[in-house]
């Protein structure tokens, strides 16, 4: 998801900082909607206000989901240079599901001794 940030990104800013600034901006927009004088609003105006807030929350949720997906992919890829030798390549690393499968297929051999 490509995000448009209205401010200027400084050279030292991380993508995470830009995302947090964007989320804060979106939350403040919701806050400003809810600070209106609600007593004089009729039913349709209240429904419109709730719909606008709902759309903003949905937008924040999409931004957060995209950022969480990106960070999980980045941070969880601990075996960047290894692939399972059983199911993906000739490297020596073997993933847990393949190791479990192998363990269930191995027949015990009695050792003479």
> 25 and 72, same structural domain?
yes
51, part of any domain: yes
**25 and 70 inside one domain:** yes
5 close to 22: Cβ distance less than 8 angstroms: yes
Residue 27 forms part of a structural domain: yes
pLDDT of res. 70? 84
- pLDDT: is 7 or 12 the higher one? 12
The predicted pLDDT at position 95 comes to: 74
Residue 4 within a domain: no
**Distances, alpha carbon 108 to alpha carbons 6, 95, 103, in Å:** 65, 22, 10
pTM for the whole thing? 0.55
pLDDT of amino acid 109: 66
Residue 96 lies in a domain: yes
Assess if residue 10 is contained within a domain: no
- Asked if residue 23 lies in contact with residue 50, where contact means CB atoms within 8 angstroms, the answer is no
- What local confidence, expressed as pLDDT, does residue 56 receive? 92
Q: What confidence category does residue 2 fall into, taking pLDDT thresholds of 50, 70 and 90?
A: very low
Pair of tokens at residue 52: 């606008």
Q: Which domain holds residue 109?
A: 80-113
Give the distance, in angstroms, between the CA of residue 63 and the centroid of all CA atoms in the same chain. 8
- Residue 16: predicted pLDDT: 86
97, part of any domain: yes
What pLDDT does residue 58 have? Answer: 94
Same domain, 63 and 87: no
Same-domain pairing of 66 and 86? no
pLDDT of residue 3: 47
The domain tally of the chain equals 2
pLDDT, tens only, 35-94: 777 778 888 988 998 899 999 999 999 999 998 888 887 777 665 655 555 555 555 566
Residue 5 included in any domain = no
Examine the domain organization and report whether 88 and 65 are in the same domain. Answer: no
**In this structure, are 28 and 66 located in the same domain?**
yes
Judge if 25 and 61 occupy the same domain.
yes
Task: Report d(CA 15, CA 22) in Å as an integer.
Answer: 11
């Amino acid at each position: 998801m490509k995000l448009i940030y209205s401010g200027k990104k400084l050279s030292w800013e991380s993508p995470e900082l830009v995302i947090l600034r964007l989320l804060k901006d979106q939350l403040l927009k919701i806050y400003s909607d809810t600070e209106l004088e609600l007593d004089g609003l009729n039913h349709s105006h209240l429904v419109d206000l709730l719909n606008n807030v709902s759309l903003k929350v949905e937008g924040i949720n999409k931004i957060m989901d995209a950022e969480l997906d990106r960070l999980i992919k980045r941070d969880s890829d601990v075996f960047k240079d290894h692939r399972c030798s059983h199911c993906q390549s000739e490297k020596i690393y073997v993933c847990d599901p393949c190791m479990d499968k192998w363990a269930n297929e191995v027949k015990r051999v009695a050792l003479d001794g």
